[in-house]
Structure 1
Amino acid sequence: MTFRGRTDAGALLIAVPLIGEAEARSRVLALWSPGVTVHELPGGDWLVTLPAPLSLRAEHAPGLPLPTPAEVPRAGAIHRYDRTRLPEVDPAAWLDLGELEVVPLTVPEPELKPTPVEPSFTQEPDLRELASVGEPDPMPPLWPDGGLLGRVLRGWYADRRRRYVDRLAAQFERRRWGDALRNAVPLGGPGGGHPTLRLPGRRSGPLVPTPVRRPGGGSMPYDEDSHRRLRTLYRKAAAALEKDGRIEEAAFVLADLLDDALAAVTLLERHGRPRPAAELAEGRGLEPALVVRLWWRAGDRDRALRIARLRGAYEAAVERLAKVDPRAAGHLRLAWSADRWAAGDAVGAVEAAWPAEDLRAGAVSLARQGLDADAPHRPVLLAYALARRPDPGHADEARALLAKPEPDEADWYDQRAFVRTLRTVDLADRALDTELTGAALRAVLRAAPHETDPAARPGLIRALRRRADPLLAADLPACPPPPDRPVLRLRAERRPGGLPLTDAVALSRTTVLTAHGELGVRLLGRDGRVRAAWDVPAHRLIAADHGGAALLVADRGEAQDVHRLDLTTRRTAHWATLAAGPLPTSYDGTVLPVPDADGLAFLETRAPRLRALARELDRDHTVLALARTPDTLTALIRHRSGDQLRRWDLPRLTLRDRTGLPPARYTLLATGTALLPEPTDTGLRLRAHGRNPGDRGPLPADTLTLLADGDTLAVAAEEEPEVSVTLAETPGGRPWAGVSFPGLPRLRAHAGLVTLYEAEGRIVVLDRTARAQVLNVRTPPV
């Protein structure tokens, strides 16, 4: 206790009998903030508990400052009270609103119109159309299967084909390139179309490669000898044309006649024509890294960056470019790092720049800026920040992180993230490197009970031993095996939160982003306290995979108003107004898949105008639901031919599965699975459609709800007076956690964390890998 001078007070003791209740009330109201509680002590004094220590001068304080509410001085002695047994004083009861007239305010909703979407900077080829995927149109046979007429037609056609090939071969052998190339028939590829008896028509226009080939109306069928003969002629023609310096015509032969786009692209690039090479590579759907490299070398860097961003091709493109132009590869790597930083991904920005020795000083600077901004994944940034000229404060933070003698689950995950990054980062300060690797070795051994990947532990220990003090490394004990983890059983908070919830997602083990409708958005810490708040209406949250950004979606009837939140800078900006419809719950930080009237658009969220980088599907397909993880995207689609389930690999947007479904109300998983409870004689069973179809076993109750997000599934069963939520690794598999809620919760999954939340403000976050509780809190008051 302090009677004079400045002190930090955790509570205040107000002598109500001495100063009177009116004065005591005014002092409490002056102190009031969210989290303040008031309890009445025996004798009439009030114990005011503060949510955080308050620095004040004792002689000017509204009551006796106490370091903690646990110890209260009374009559010359220290008393300890159980505040749960003390009567609570409710300041709300002091407010008399009886004489106030309540006037309801009606605010007209603004009429929002969806933001127009600019077309893609390039027309994406329809790969399914080019590959003729789907039911082919029935074609009549060219001639009867048997009989005299069939034999006569076959002989006539064979003679006609032979004469055509002979004329074409003569033109090629005489190097009459103009006639030969315009009369030549393409071999293979999507341009051939269906068989026909008509001879190919003569081409018009320039003889240059066609970036996007569409199915032709028909082509002559060739026997094996004719096909081999033409292929040999075309190969020789391409070589001769290249030797004569007729590069575009040689590329035409390779790309259009031989259907070898990669060879044509290589030829064009070899002869210093990167722009037509890039157009051809992009139009023919070649490897994205190759397309990025070609556009970068062609000077269209904006286009190269958009493709790299959409297809996740930065790393492969840098490797490809480094083989032919190391300086340009360095510039592309720097642009990659800047792009990740602009997306709010501080760790991604540092890791993109780190492999280049000349960019490491800048990477260390980015890591320090991320630490100053309290960016996500702080332990990883801390390891990088120590690599060059370490700040003493950062070094002390690393020592404190590794020195915790008995880390809990959360501390160990921070330690593990730091240690695994330290393994790959050599510190320039050799003494600090030896000290921290030794401390990291001890931390790895202490935290063995929390390890979720014991197979990786021996390699981690060997890497750290080589850099630690040899005497310390020699004296380390053997690493104990990890214990078996029982099924996790939890109960959510009984009391409701202060703010109603419309959405919540754990971005990391220390932060939860919450949406409260028109009341805005909050960022909560592990203790449930508000770390940041934004007065931007939001009913749904779309979290970036890296946890450094989110899209805030406000429902506005027929429209959805979307703001972008940068969690590193703590700034928000309006992005777009979209038509009402299903949206995924996550995105890569830059590209968001959005259903619209033309199918499925992949919109760039950081462009000044709403722009589609790519499209899938068309007007005949209506997207009913989307489920996404960083690696895969699944859509439930309605088509006139019936419902479909489609799955793409991300980020390359490669279509992997397409399955027809009977109409029903499915629960969708990003793994390409649609789940449906089906009644049987013995109760409900879970039926999987799409990828890996089949019976997934009995469900635990007759009244239940499936909760799903990404690739995570939970089953919520009503068990009066609670709702029991069971989580399993696979649909119908062995459960790993069970959580009880007073009401039906909702589920979000992000970065290995599962968030269960209730509209009344209860939040439970679980670690899916460790099978452990991360937090169990309520939303704070308004």
Structure 2
Amino acid sequence: MPVEVRQPLFHGRCAVHALWFDLDLIGPDEARRRVLAHWQAGSHLFLAGGGYLLRWPAPRWRQVDTLDALALCQVGHVLGSAPLSQAELATLPAGTVWLVRAGVAQAALPQERLDAAAWLALDAITLCVPLAPPSPPAADAMLAPVALEVVLGAAMPRRNAASIAFERGLALPAPSGQPEVQASGGPDAAAAAPGFVARLLSRWRLGPAAPPALSSGYLDMVIALFAGGDLALALSHAVPVGAVDSGGAAQMLPLRRAMRADGTPAWAPATPLTSAYAALLRSVYRSAFEQLDGAGRVDEAVYVLAGLLQCPSEAVTYLEQKRRYGQAARLAEHAKLEAPLAVRLWLLAGELEHAVRLARLHNVFDAAVQLLETDGSVLAAPLRRHWAAYLAERGDLVEAAAVLRSLPDQRAQTLAWLAQAERHGGTLGMRALAFKLALDPATLHESAAGITALLAAGGEDGAGLRASLALALLGKGMPAVATSTASWRVAGELLRKVLPERLEGANRLDAEALAALAGLAGGTALHADLPRYRFTPEPHVPPLTERDASLALRLDQRGLLPIYDARCLADGQYLLALGQGGVLRVDRDGRQLAHYPVPAEHLVLSYNGTRALALARRGSQYRISRLDLVTGDAADWLGIDLQHWSGSYDGVSWNVAFERRLAVLDTCAPQQRIVWEVPGLPGEIVGYRDRGDMLTVVLRVADGIEQWSYHQPGRQLRQRDWWKSRSLARATHLLPGPPYSSPWPVLVDEQAGTVTLMLREHPLRMPVALAPQAAREVRIDGKAIVFVGSEGDAMCCNVVSLSGNAMHVRIDLPDALAPGFSLHDGRLLVFDRAGRLVDLDCDSGKLRSLCLR
């Protein structure tokens, strides 16, 4: 029963026990904001009397006249919002809460307890996970290459010294460039006169006289042993056919090739005589294989196929027919066969973990899943789940959802990944929104507020995002999925915005895309109602390297925040390393979008722009932190003594060089985990370049220069060449050359202030003038060379073409402080610690600059 009171409110300073927030008066959003502002540890929140009741664990003295809520104080045996008299209290029951509204005391019993944690929006907050305490070093979990002996074990035939010496003699080049082979020295190979095969081939005039080793009769003896029927003895003396036919044994890693100054290998080609011997050996080995297979001697038969005939693919198929899946998988790895085949075999062998590690290293989940699903194997589903998890770790959330959507029991996870990508915004968010609406039209109401904000967004960014959503709805660059009613509704609203913007030149959607969007929105009727429009063709913009006039920029402005490194992100954004100031994500105008509180002097960005690594020097090591640009999380990872590293990675596997070894680190592992490595390099790495599909390093060895090139993602060695050149030996810089070519030496003359690039012993002097003892850095990208150096009091960045030796770009930063640049995917960023940043698109010549204030 309501009770009328004389004094409706407290005044002055009182001991407040609780606060009440009127939902009808201030609305739910403002009420939640005020509740969180007054929250104390140990508080309790209830729904009471048509509002929120926040009860503190202990009374707090407050000036109640200034509070933005109704103060509740202890009045006798009740909590009330007014100083009730004794007469008024006598009419009230005990243990209740009373609110005085319009001069009337009304009971407000707590009805439902609420959890205020659900109101907290953490999307814009960067969570920094502290560095974990050091733990004892664990053994590197590495996919180490295996030898054929490991595959076959004790059943592997043991080769004698004569066979090994014969093979190595043919494989090692002589100083003159001709194969030099020592006599085998075994008692069974002491014949000095040419064997009957050599005499017969010579009589047929198949080629010049045989090399000394062939004249020794060793191969005649091997053929005779196989003809005699003692296969065990014959196998111990056999040599691979590749050692006879090509002048070099088939190796898992190619031997070093001596190269001439003109870039051609200093090898003598195989003679017709050696090729004829190889043909005879193949026939003999094939017959031996059939005998061993018929006798059930599987391991020895595999040795003949893989080791002697050098047909590893046939050997793997043979082992699979025998249901020896583990051996087949090891052999497939040893022989560098297609990685999806090895993944499938490891799964058939029951080694799911090993199969997943191999698929992650080579990024072959797609092909491996297709192989399994073609066979109708039940192993395809678990591998598909690991594939989706791998893509999510890389930040490819839309692709992860596309992989997982075919599994009905994973629908919740699929939608969760898409929702996470949608909250990130940008182009990634538009792709996720379009995919989510196509998969589940019922989620349209969840995204209604975001779609409304997108349609109302102004400026260049708003127009760009609307164009990105239009393309995503049309399936451009998206997983194949049928559209839904929600997609149609959004397309109709979007068309009203993007069509006028296209006519104004705010986006680059073509007529075909607009027509398709109209068809998606309303079919032929809406398409017929569209106004007739005509777009002027886009003007042809020649690349910088094809222009007659050079581009020059001088940036005199200075900022306040130092830039140690910079990288381009999608939607016109940048990721900036500020040293001890952390990492900033800013828009095209320099406005801060996110801050990551980890020290950063160097940045490594994933290909998709959703993951990054921040490196900061700490003594002899680099402290490395991981950044998730989608969730905003930042975490310390590890400290390691790095010498070289790749400036980009796939979001999981990162190429590095340290302690005279190349390695691939798993950046998703809690600690250092090496998944691939080449230990014990023969020299110091003086040149390092990762092109994405090819990793090239230049080594300075004791007797010259070597260049190694690995094809990626499989990391297969495709080049190991050696040069003895004066220009390479005295070069100031050695730039890794294109695959299968020589390194490019850069010679800097300190006294003359000149820079010369040597291309196959031909000098190419770059049109730049340097101050003596100037800081400088050189890098080659495609058809141009980028050179950064000091001239006077300014830092100059010059882009010079390799073909015409003409300067196309010159960027000057006066009074530069520790200048630097990054060059990735045709985008050149020049920056310094005076807060200046210049962004140049080397293809279009579009130039943008900003200063951090």
Task: Please tell me whether residue 480 in structure 1 is matched to residue 554 in structure 2.
Answer: no
Please, which of 763, 774, 786 is the counterpart of residue 714 of structure 1? 786
Report the TM-score, using the length of structure 1 for normalisation: 0.67
CA positional deviation for 1:192: 10
Is this contact kept in 2: 1:380–1:418, CA < 8 A?
Answer: no
Q: How does 1:575-586 map to 2 (within 5 A)?
A: 575-586=637-648
Q: Which residue of 1 aligns with 2:112?
A: none
Is this contact kept in 2: 1:715–1:726, CA < 8 A?
Answer: yes
Please, which of 345, 349, 354 is the counterpart of residue 303 of structure 1? 354
Task: Please tell me whether residue 168 in structure 1 is matched to residue 238 in structure 2.
Answer: no
3-state SS of paired residue (1:608): coil
How far apart are the structure 2 equivalents of 1:697 and 1:356? 60
Task: Please tell me whether residue 188 in structure 1 is matched to residue 244 in structure 2.
Answer: no
CA positional deviation for 1:268: 1.4
Q: Which residue of 2 aligns with 1:68?
A: none
Task: Please tell me whether residue 340 in structure 1 is matched to residue 391 in structure 2.
Answer: yes
Is this contact kept in 2: 1:683–1:699, CA < 8 A?
Answer: no
Is this contact kept in 2: 1:277–1:294, CA < 8 A?
Answer: yes
How far apart are the structure 1 equivalents of 2:841 and 2:221? 73
Task: Please tell me whether residue 543 in structure 1 is matched to residue 605 in structure 2.
Answer: yes
Please, which of 616, 621, 636 is the counterpart of residue 574 of structure 1? 636
Amino acid in structure 1 at the alignment position of 2:623? D
Please, which of 767, 770, 775 is the counterpart of residue 699 of structure 1? 767
3-state SS of paired residue (2:590): coil
Question: Which 5+ residue runs of structure 2 have no aligned equivalent?
Answer: 1-24, 27-65, 69-132, 149-166, 185-191, 200-213, 256-271, 545-549
Amino acid in structure 2 at the alignment position of 1:763? L
Q: Which residue of 2 aligns with 1:649?
A: 711
Amino acid in structure 1 at the alignment position of 2:524? P
Is this contact kept in 2: 1:716–1:726, CA < 8 A?
Answer: yes
Amino acid in structure 1 at the alignment position of 2:658? D
Please, which of 548, 563, 567 is the counterpart of residue 505 of structure 1? 567
Q: Deviations along 1:285-339, whole A, 9 cap, x unmatched?
A: 2122222222232222222222222223233323333333454234323212201
Q: Which residue of 1 aligns with 2:371?
A: 320
Relative to structure 1, the CA distance from residue 360 to residue 402 in structure 2 (aligned partners, 3 Å threshold; closer, same or farther) is farther
How far apart are the structure 2 equivalents of 1:597 and 1:322? 43
Q: Deviations along 1:489-517, whole A, 9 cap, x unmatched?
A: 68676543332222222233343222222
How far apart are the structure 2 equivalents of 1:343 and 1:519? 26
How far apart are the structure 2 equivalents of 1:160 and 1:561? 58
3-state SS of paired residue (1:531): strand
Relative to structure 1, the CA distance from residue 266 to residue 526 in structure 2 (aligned partners, 3 Å threshold; closer, same or farther) is same
How far apart are the structure 2 equivalents of 1:353 and 1:726? 47
Is this contact kept in 2: 1:743–1:758, CA < 8 A?
Answer: no
Relative to structure 1, the CA distance from residue 337 to residue 560 in structure 2 (aligned partners, 3 Å threshold; closer, same or farther) is same
Is this contact kept in 2: 1:403–1:443, CA < 8 A?
Answer: no
Tell me the number of residue pairs that the alignment of Structure 1 and Structure 2 aligns.
640
Please, which of 754, 759, 777 is the counterpart of residue 828 of structure 2? 754
Question: Which 5+ residue runs of structure 1 have no aligned equivalent?
Answer: 7-58, 62-110, 144-148, 197-209, 216-220
CA positional deviation for 1:663: 3.3
How far apart are the structure 2 equivalents of 1:195 and 1:534? 54
Relative to structure 1, the CA distance from residue 392 to residue 719 in structure 2 (aligned partners, 3 Å threshold; closer, same or farther) is farther
Task: Please tell me whether residue 632 in structure 1 is matched to residue 691 in structure 2.
Answer: no
Q: Deviations along 1:229-270, whole A, 9 cap, x unmatched?
A: 553454355456556655444323322232111101111123
How far apart are the structure 2 equivalents of 1:696 and 1:430? 62
Relative to structure 1, the CA distance from residue 313 to residue 302 in structure 2 (aligned partners, 3 Å threshold; closer, same or farther) is same
CA positional deviation for 1:630: 2.6
Q: Deviations along 1:318-366, whole A, 9 cap, x unmatched?
A: 3333333454234323212201212334345345546889877754431
CA positional deviation for 1:652: 2.1
Amino acid in structure 2 at the alignment position of 1:569? T
Relative to structure 1, the CA distance from residue 528 to residue 680 in structure 2 (aligned partners, 3 Å threshold; closer, same or farther) is closer
Report the TM-score, using the length of structure 2 for normalisation: 0.62
Is this contact kept in 1: 2:767–2:807, CA < 8 A?
Answer: no
Q: How does 1:257-276 map to 2 (within 5 A)?
A: 257-276=308-327
The alignment yields a C-alpha RMSD, in angstroms, of: 5.1
How far apart are the structure 1 equivalents of 2:619 and 2:183? 57
CA positional deviation for 1:530: 3.0
Please, which of 424, 432, 437 is the counterpart of residue 386 of structure 1? 437
How far apart are the structure 1 equivalents of 2:499 and 2:147? 51
Please, which of 729, 732, 737 is the counterpart of residue 662 of structure 1? 729
Q: How does 1:56-135 map to 2 (within 5 A)?
A: 118=140, 120-123=142-145, 135=173
Relative to structure 1, the CA distance from residue 776 to residue 730 in structure 2 (aligned partners, 3 Å threshold; closer, same or farther) is same
How far apart are the structure 2 equivalents of 1:540 and 1:132? 47
Relative to structure 1, the CA distance from residue 523 to residue 158 in structure 2 (aligned partners, 3 Å threshold; closer, same or farther) is closer
Task: Please tell me whether residue 415 in structure 1 is matched to residue 477 in structure 2.
Answer: no
3-state SS of paired residue (1:614): strand
Q: Which residue of 2 aligns with 1:432?
A: 487
3-state SS of paired residue (2:385): helix
Amino acid in structure 2 at the alignment position of 1:123? P
Task: Please tell me whether residue 590 in structure 1 is matched to residue 652 in structure 2.
Answer: yes
How far apart are the structure 1 equivalents of 2:762 and 2:462? 38
Relative to structure 1, the CA distance from residue 569 to residue 634 in structure 2 (aligned partners, 3 Å threshold; closer, same or farther) is same
Q: Which residue of 2 aligns with 1:78?
A: none
Q: Deviations along 1:668-719, whole A, 9 cap, x unmatched?
A: 46856646266799995652548xx866674254558555487685345767
Q: Which residue of 2 aligns with 1:603?
A: 665
Give percent identity, aligned residues only.
24
3-state SS of paired residue (1:272): coil
How far apart are the structure 1 equivalents of 2:168 and 2:367? 26
How far apart are the structure 1 equivalents of 2:684 and 2:457? 54
Task: Please tell me whether residue 253 in structure 1 is matched to residue 304 in structure 2.
Answer: yes
Is this contact kept in 2: 1:540–1:553, CA < 8 A?
Answer: yes
Is this contact kept in 1: 2:463–2:501, CA < 8 A?
Answer: no
Please, which of 772, 779, 782 is the counterpart of residue 852 of structure 2? 779
Relative to structure 1, the CA distance from residue 242 to residue 165 in structure 2 (aligned partners, 3 Å threshold; closer, same or farther) is closer
Is this contact kept in 2: 1:539–1:553, CA < 8 A?
Answer: yes
Is this contact kept in 2: 1:191–1:214, CA < 8 A?
Answer: no
3-state SS of paired residue (2:634): strand
Relative to structure 1, the CA distance from residue 527 to residue 472 in structure 2 (aligned partners, 3 Å threshold; closer, same or farther) is same
3-state SS of paired residue (1:630): coil
CA positional deviation for 1:188: 1.5
Task: Please tell me whether residue 742 in structure 1 is matched to residue 814 in structure 2.
Answer: yes
Moved more, 310-319 or 707-716: 707-716
Relative to structure 1, the CA distance from residue 262 to residue 622 in structure 2 (aligned partners, 3 Å threshold; closer, same or farther) is same
CA positional deviation for 1:759: 0.9
Relative to structure 1, the CA distance from residue 182 to residue 659 in structure 2 (aligned partners, 3 Å threshold; closer, same or farther) is closer
Is this contact kept in 2: 1:541–1:552, CA < 8 A?
Answer: yes
Q: Deviations along 1:439-495, whole A, 9 cap, x unmatched?
A: 5698489559989999xx688678667746335556554543212348796867654
3-state SS of paired residue (2:593): strand
Q: Which residue of 2 aligns with 1:99?
A: none
Q: Which residue of 2 aligns with 1:85?
A: none
